[in-house]
Chains A and B, each alone.
Chain A
Amino acid sequence: MLALLAQTQVQIPEIVWSVLWPIVLLSIGGVLLITATSISPRLRVGSFPAAMTIVLAGASLVTLPLIWSKVRDGGGQLPVIADAIRIDAFTLLVTGIMCASLIVVSLLLDDYLRTEGLDGPEWYVLLLMSATGGILMAAANDLIVTFLGLEILSIAVYVLAALHLRRTKSQEAGFKYFILGALSSAIFLYGIAMIYGATGSLRLTDIAQFIASGNSAGLSPLTESSLLLAGMAMLLIGFGFKISAAPFHLWTPDVYEGAPTPVVAFMASAVKAAGMAGLLRVFIVAFGVVAEDWRPVVGAMAILSVVIGAASALGQDNVKRMLAYSSIVHAGFMLVGLYAAASGAAQTGTRSVVFYLFAYAVMSLGTFAAFTLIGGRGDQNHSLSAYVGLSRSNPMVASLLAVLLLAQAGMPFTIGFWAKARVIIAAANGENYVVAAVAMVAAVVAAFVYLRLIVTMFMISEPDEAGEAEASGAQLRISRSGLFALGIAAAATMIWGLFPGFGGDWFGEATRALLELR
């Protein structure tokens, strides 16, 4: 009997572990981190959790070139785990964004937790888990994996938003984020069920093939497109919430204001990048064939986002709320790129969104890093008046923040300029002149918001006010790790601003990977 069992083969899907290193490192590393710090309480204090997170994220970054050489040898696409996950250039690019964001946020969080008197490796563990979810979402070739990635990403961030135990605002932000997030993922899930009913498959590539082969072939009487349309609409709601695109943006300013600022840096960079990556994967790979159907909705969301975001940012006095509205404008810009991709300019459109993802992650990380430093003890120095005279009390922080804000405004020679320019060029290529024009006008209005903040920093104020500003500025303790994080982001903004092709053509490769899958 035993001999028989020893000879029997069991068929399991082939798993190429060597290309899953980032996912393995981040998730297992997170589990090890919480285990180690539970066993040995001495590890809880000090910088060990932050250092370990940075090492894990750095190690994942190092594996990316190795994985890429494997992927390139495999023809640009590596189906892993029975094709539920695709490792390709797009996945690797999003993995890179996640790891970079982990490193910067850990640098910020280390000092933030010490200043606030909060302890715990839980923050870092949740960050690691959330980043794993984001990578899964970008890699998914199966709606189950997309959903799991979305939930792993989100649940960790709900907790992170509420994790400042003494700040009631933080808990309120976490609660609001949780309720609306759970509602949107439930709607998202309903959409998946609809699509499953319409196409009989959860695999993105199979869905694409099914739709392409034509509903007329009589494969299923349920393929009346109404089921598919309802499903796509619900998926758009779910993704729209994650990337905070109007009209699903109402949570953004509240949550950005209430959540701890380093966590906001993570939400603006990693969560938004992952949401957008999932949106690109699902809508370009699975529904690229029926782009005509979802194109108008994406266009409307894009216009609403840029207009509402820019208009609402004008009246804000809290910089975190201001940047929350500006993040809605940026989400709108990404959707303009997607709209262009759906209306003929597939190559330039998709490429512009992929580049915008990266650019916005860099800019928002830097901006919120600066806000963390200026926010100071208690995380509450976020009104515009706290920025008066900052250029004199803290010239270094003020000038780096100015660079990042100019980049967000789309100033030439910064990364933000290329991001915006590429989206607009793509929209013009797709002959979406109206959308392009609206986006341009909104960008100008939003630029005013950033300039207002810059002017406030460099403003020479009234004598008595200046004295007050100097006094508050003098108390500002700038941590070295935080300044380093801010410096990295500002440097990246300038490097890719001056040489947009720096480091090879990742963005082109990622675009090719997405479009080839169709």
Chain B
Amino acid sequence: MLLNQFLGLAAILFCIGVYGVLTRRNGVMVLMSIELILNAVNINLVAFGAYQGDVGGQVFALFVIAVAAAEVGVGLAIVLLIYRNRRSIDVSEADLLQG
């Protein structure tokens, strides 16, 4: 396959992810959008690693998977904490801090 097919797929995933973070109002959907971006990065890393004949990219992808799991764990915990206090995980309702 051509390298730019991988890069194109990753770029599309990245854009969908950023769009999701910016427009989704549900906290969990925002977390999923961030996961999409991280997976776009993984595709890039593995594709570049295979192209360069270097194992570094794939190793990095494994690190990214681990870190993404940790990050989403913390994110869900914070979402849960907010849900307990307000019975809502709507991002746009988080408006106590302004000015």
Contacts and interface: CB of A to CB of B under 8 A. Distances in A.
Nearest to B38: A186
Contacts of A162: 78, 81
Nearest to A161: B78
Contact of B37 (A174, A183, A255, A257): A183
A169 interface: yes
A183 B85 contact: no
A52 interface: no
A185 B17 CA distance: 13
24 contacts: A144-B59, A148-B67, A155-B70, A155-B71, A172-B94, A175-B82, A179-B21, A179-B91, A182-B71, A183-B21, A183-B37, A185-B71, A190-B40, A193-B45, A196-B52, A196-B60, A200-B52, A202-B56, A253-B99, A254-B97, A255-B97, A257-B97, A257-B99, A316-B99
Interface string B1-14: 00100010010001
A159 B27 CA distance: 16
In terms of DSSP, what is the predominant structure of the interface of chain A? helix
A169 B97 contact: yes
A258 interface: yes
Contacts of B75: 158, 178-179, 182
B85 A168 contact: yes
Contact of B82 (A143, A172, A257): A172
B56 A189 contact: no
Interface in A290-323: 316, 318, 321
Nearest to B3: A222
Contacts of B77: 159
Contacts of A178: 74-75, 78
Contacts of A83: none
A168 B14 contact: no
Contact of B99 (A144, A193, A318): A318
B44 A190 contact: yes
Interface in A181-199: 182-183, 185-187, 189-190, 192-194, 196-197
B interface bracket (residues with beta carbon within 8 Å of A): 35 or more
A311 to B, nearest CB: 14
- Please provide the 9 A-B residue pairs with the shortest distance between their CB atoms, ordered closest to farther: A193-B44, A197-B48, A186-B37, A254-B97, A200-B52, A189-B41, A172-B94, A182-B34, A151-B67
Contacts of A196: 45, 48-49, 52, 56-57, 60
Contacts of B70: 151, 155
B81 A171 contact: yes
Contacts of B96: 168-169, 172, 258
Interface string A318-352: 10010000000000000000000000000000000
A144 B63 contact: yes
Nearest to A143: B60
Given A186-B34, A186-B37, A144 B60 contact: yes
A171 B98 CA distance: 14
B16 interface: no
In terms of DSSP, what is the predominant structure of the interface of chain B? helix
Interface of A: 143-144, 147-148, 151, 155, 158-159, 162, 165, 168-169, 171-176, 178-179, 182-183, 185-187, 189-190, 192-194, 196-197, 200-202, 220, 222, 253-255, 257-258, 316, 318, 321
A491 B85 CA distance: 42
A144 B56 CA distance: 9
A356 B60 CA distance: 33
Interface in B27-46: 27, 30-31, 34, 37-38, 40-41, 44-45
A189 B97 contact: no
Contacts of A179: 21, 30, 34, 75, 91
Contacts of B52: 196-197, 200, 220
Interface in B61-80: 63-64, 67, 70-71, 74-75, 77-79
A192 B64 CA distance: 12
A162 B49 CA distance: 38
Most buried by B among A151, A175, A187: A175
Contacts of B94: 172, 175-176
A194 B44 contact: yes
A316 B79 CA distance: 29
B4 to A, nearest CB: 10
Nearest to B43: A193
A192 to B, nearest CB: 8
Nearest to B81: A171
A177 B75 CA distance: 10
Contacts of B64: 147, 189
A254 B96 CA distance: 9
Contacts of A200: 48, 52, 54
Contacts of A257: 97, 99
Given A169-B97, A172-B96, A193 B41 contact: yes
Contacts of B40: 190
A175 B88 CA distance: 13
Nearest to A158: B74
A197 B45 CA distance: 8
Contacts of B86: 168
A162 B56 CA distance: 35
Contacts of A254: 97-98
Most buried by A among B40, B45, B70, B98: B45
Contact of B78 (A174, A183, A220, A321): A174
A321 B66 CA distance: 35
